[in-house]
Amino acid sequence: MKKDMDSATDGSGSSSPLGIALNVVSALKELGLVVIETEPTDAMVAAGVAAGRTKPDGGAEAARAIFKAMLRVGGRPAELPR
């Protein structure tokens, strides 16, 4: 990783919660991971309906179910640096 989690500083040389949080976000990005809602937003559902070319009357529920199923299964396991 570009930044060591133990070296999170606030610029003055001392550890800070913000510095640590920024390093966590950076590490997630390097691993190709993102943090998202556990429930899809209306915009996400609309995009899913459009991408799946499903009917709007039943497509929203299908898009929500597909989203939740994908979250349950997850993606590739992250390989954390040692």
Q: 40 with 66, same domain?
A: yes
User: Residues with Cβ < 8 Å from 40, sequence gap 6 or more?
Assistant: 48, 63, 64, 67, 68
Query: Which has more confidence, 75 or 42?
Result: 42
Give residue-wise pLDDT tens across range 10-25.
555 557 999 999 999 9
CA 44 to CA 66: how far, in whole Å? 11
Q: What are phi and psi of 71, to 5 degrees?
A: -65, -40
Give the pLDDT confidence score for residue 2 in this predicted structure.
47
Which domain, by its residues, includes 65?
36-74
Contact, 23 vs 32, CB < 8 A? no
- Looking at the structure, tell me whether residues 47 and 21 fall in a common domain: no
The reported pTM is 0.51
pLDDT, tens digit, 9 for 90 and up, residues 33-74: 888 888 888 888 888 888 877 666 668 888 888 888 888 777
70 and 41 within one domain: yes
- Shared domain check, 1 and 27: yes
Quick one: 46 and 65 in the same domain?
Answer: yes
Q: Considering its fold, how many domains does the chain have in total?
A: 2
Segment 63-70 long-range contacts (CB within 8 Å, at least 24 positions apart): 64/39, 64/40, 67/40, 68/39, 68/40
User: Are 59 and 31 contained in the same domain?
Assistant: no
